[in-house]
Structure 1
């Protein structure tokens, strides 16, 4: 009881700062009713959930990544996962599977329905039988085709102030933009023009969190997702939630306070559900969403990682990557980093700010262009355009050699870095296969991001994976082997320690240790296409005569140095 009272007092304190005492009393009354509904009417979907450990990996995918003529898309996904990834992947991040009008799901029409083209809630429940689930809460904005916006434009008082109407003459030049389209979009409300805030597109209309009723609606959605089995809820574009004219309108104090309210509410109703922030911002700003380590999200993306790994492999030099890793603090308390190299979006450029110079970032963009990818730009406060994200599959971004076997080795080296780091690895579905750029889809849709969003027929992917000579097959089964080995190593626990071991610029080298320090693995990755002699560091192993490479389950003979083949990966473990 003391726990509940303490949380409600904290909620009241934050809400009062945001909305004042009168509105807060109304807010609390409705919130308590919501909590009673979920605490009494929705028993936990999975009442006993272990903490995430080395056996956990996440797969990022769309609900329609796999299609079949005789079953739903979600059922096709389940068939693929059960056939190929059961026992290897523990979490499935289902990108928005709700009815939508654009942006491949991120312009949500109805938050509580499953897109009928994908399946239904029964399909989600079936998927949850073998996998924990990650749901997207796309709650910075909603589709222009949604019931909420339609009722607002019709003048329904229940939806008044659900959106942000701004005089187009107001100076909004300080707002941090993610796109180049106009920030305000004109609509007709009861026969009169209104200009609504649309951060991402004219079809994605920002919600007004200065209206506490909007916050209550969103809290109800988060609780609903938890009741449907979400283990992790990803808070999409969460840094844009609160707008204040004359500021960047990004990562404002009030946005953090809203996240704190989400945390407190989930802690009361579904304490085992974790929150994940999605913020395409510079590294240090991204870490701020941990709050004090106990009061905001429990998971934060390592969005600097994709660009740094690309840069390092392009240059055959891991120095910049390892220098950055030295600055990454351990995730506080029970919080975790979520490590990715590729997602449904592009490779973010802003997280590299302050880590790489502008010419170094431009060099990555040049390499992307040379391998058939694209650069998406944003408008700066001075009106100029600058890179915002790079659009390419991760394999294509690295495939710079005529020799396919060397491209495969280079690509798998990048994925081994992902699997080796402290935190929870999340693998985009196309990374499992090393899919090439889908430039045809990008041209057809007019969307650069489509280059990395290919869909498969279930029979098509089965045919590919039945051919041992196919490049995608080689990558898929080599990747699965690394995952299988990783899951068995306590040293790869997401909360285990991570130490950069300086050896040479051409070698990615870190020491991972289990939380109890009883097991350690030295990770060595040759970042070059050359044979490389490498001297093992002193004092890592008790005896250099008892070292095994666990990837091949073979002893490593060490004299003064070892010889690493091009892009070779070694996970070295001392024998007792």
Structure 2
């Protein structure tokens, strides 16, 4: 798209965002911003293929004494997973005051404990990088919010004070804390909208000055090496009286505005939206498949895989998976099983019953995990997420008693992740075969810390060799990833056809229409040997076994059958 068309498209989006409040000066100011970034040096991105595998990690997940942690993490990944992990998702790497990075003090300032922009850009020469843009809220310690409290003209509309004429009755909350908090201002008490906590103050993009700043930040990230940008909690961005203040049209138009600019400056920079909500709302961020997000988090996958491996019944996963296919040639799903957050269950609404969700809740508690709740508009509370390491979440105490079976189950769960249409993302604690971090949980009192363990460089390097659980999970996942990367049928844009082989199996077919390659995935989701008759001939690329109509699989065993 040439500049003239870009400017026309940008103006169209601004008019849709601001409607009657639109002013021509908005377009003039954004044109100036575009001209500024046209003077910068832009490095091109490569398109996403089946070779892309994301690692979700903190910038200080691996550390050494006296060394910037970004340097240590880069060194470790180059030594251990170079060529297997292609994309590194660095969770918020900026100065922050709470929530393990998600209360950003300055969008443009790297946390000094991690390093600086030079370390980030050096990292980006070795791996494709994914940065977190916590666009919905800032730390109360940020200079912007302090300017708001001090009644500085520049920041007067940057945040959202309580309004007696605003109808808040339908606002959706992921937290049990108050929607508004009071703060001591220069000229008295000021209030501000706080979706997540007293320290995380929602920004106000209804102020064009704020939207311009946010737009400048996302272009900065792309220019500083981001191949992907994750829009954290983006669904809460725009607020309108009498609505849920979630997924509003203006929020979608802002994302589309950013897509236009990223496509112009650095095509194939992936916008990835993080909206932990029911599936239909989640996929709305894909737009028409070409004009909004490139990927959406596949939030239904983690709890549905857990449900399947817990009950040994794939029926619900199979039924849901039949509704999922390729999106377009440029949009797809960001698939994961574990992350820095817990296992969200909201995405299972309309898929699992309350009784089926309770089975997972009870199992998580039995296996040493925690449960987090959200407030409902009717004053009740309901389960929001399950806080537990995914390895521990999978274990059925009565039957998964050997380490061998637990490891097989972990790899089996990830075989679904690696076979499903989309791009796979693996959390660092899953890759390392970790279990619940009770020390982190108890020291912090924060449920999510149970799966945020961090490691000294020499310790984890040695543990991945000497610790049987860690070694077998780590090497098992690496081997699967390497096999997957060689097969074009696993392209994120290849089609998917789910095959119903009964509750004991989960199966699907991936077909790349461009290359003609086809792979059939079959997993035994039970803890005992099973066989199934299928109209398939080919070779199981996992062990080179010839398949001709019958597949026999041991407990938690799976096959990738290439025709």
Asked whether the two chains share a fold, i.e. TM above 0.5, the reply is yes
- 2:542 is aligned to 551
Is 1:482 equivalent to 2:491 in the alignment?
no
Give how far 1:129 is off. 1.4
Task: Give 3-state SS (helix, strand or coil) of 1:515's partner.
Answer: coil
1:544 is matched with which residue?
Answer: none
Does the 8 A contact of 2:303 with 2:348 survive in 1? yes
Shift of 1:527: 0.3
1:28 counterpart residue number: 27
Which string of whole-angstrom CA distances, capped at 9 and with x for unpartnered residues, describes residues 54-90 of structure 1?
Answer: 1111111000000101421111101110011111111
Q: Could you tell me whether the CA contact under 8 Å between 2:326 and 2:494 is conserved in 1? A: no
* Corresponding residue for residue 560 of structure 2: 571
Matches within 5 A, 1:76-91: 76-91=72-87
Cα distance, 1:169 vs structure 2: 8.7
1:39-438 paired onto structure 2 within 5 Å: 39-40=38-39, 42-45=40-43, 47=44, 49-167=45-163, 171-400=167-396, 401-438=400-437
Q: How many residues align?
A: 560
Partners in 2 of 1:251 and 1:516 — Cα distance? 35
Residue 421 of structure 1: how far off its partner (Å): 1.0
Deviation per CA, 1:178-220, whole angstroms, max 9, x where unpaired? 0000110111222321221000110000001110100000000
Higher mean alpha-carbon deviation, 289-298 vs 196-205, is at: 289-298
Q: CA 1:507/1:20 → structure 2, altered by over 3 Å: closer, same or farther?
A: closer
Kept in 2: contact 1:167–1:195 (CA 8 A): no
**Preserved contact between residue 525 and residue 570 of structure 1 (Cα < 8 Å):** yes
Distance 2:23 2:471 in 1: 57
Which residue is equivalent to 1:515? 513
| Distance in 1 separating the partners of 2:210 and 2:513 | 42
State the Cα distance separating 1:561 from its structure 2 match: 3.0
| Partner secondary structure for residue 466 of structure 1 | helix
The equivalent of 2:463 in structure 1 is 464
Deviations 1:493-515 (A, max 9, x none): 11111111122211111111123
How far apart are the structure 1 equivalents of 2:551 and 2:86?
35
Cα pair 1:168 1:184 within 8 Å, conserved: no
CA contact (8 A) 1:139 1:236 kept: yes
CA–CA distance in structure 1, aligned partners of residues 351 and 515 of structure 2? 30
Quote the Cα distance in structure 1 between the aligned partners of 2:318 and 2:312.
13
- Verify the 8 A CA contact 1:376 1:390 in the aligned structure 2: yes
Contact (CA 8 Å) 1:495, 1:515: kept in 2 or not? no
> TM-score of the superposition, structure 1-length normalised?
0.95
- Structure-2 separation of matches of 1:242 and 1:153: 21
Aligned-residue offset at 1:23? 4.7
Unpaired runs of 5+ in structure 1? 542-546
Deviation by residue 1:321-365 (Cα, 9 ceiling, x = unmatched): 111010124213411111111111111111111111121112111
Q: Is this contact kept in 1: 2:489–2:511, CA < 8 A?
A: yes
Higher alpha-carbon deviation: 169-178 or 386-395: 169-178
RMSD of the alignment, in Å?
1.5
Once the 2 structures are TM-superposed, how far is the Cα of residue 6 of structure 1 from its aligned partner? 2.5
Mapped to 1, the partners of 2:491 and 2:277 lie a distance apart of 27
SS at match of 1:327: coil
Give SS of 2:126's match.
coil
Give the whole-Å Cα distance in 1 for the aligned partners of 2:294 and 2:50.
Answer: 17
| 8 Å CA contact retained: 1:340, 1:426 | yes
Residue 129 of structure 1: SS of its match in structure 2? helix
Tell me, in whole angstroms, the C-alpha distance in 2 between the residues paired with 1:199 and 1:21: 27
- SS for the counterpart of 1:388 is strand
d(CA) in 2 for partners of 1:25 and 1:189? 33
1:8 aligns with 2:1: no
Query: Shift in Å at residue 556 of structure 1?
Result: 2.9
Contact 2:151 2:186 (8 Å CA) reproduced: yes
Q: State how far apart, in whole Å, the 1-side matches of 2:471 and 2:479 are.
A: 12
Aligned residues of 2:90 and 2:131 also touching (Cα < 8 A): yes
The Cα of 1:20 is off from its aligned counterpart by 4.9
**Displacement of 1:319:** 1.2
Contact 2:432 2:464 in 1 (8 A): no
Q: Distance in 2 between matches of 1:480 and 1:188?
A: 52
For 2:114 and 2:195, how far apart are their aligned partners in 1? Answer: 27
**Residue matched to 1:562:** 551
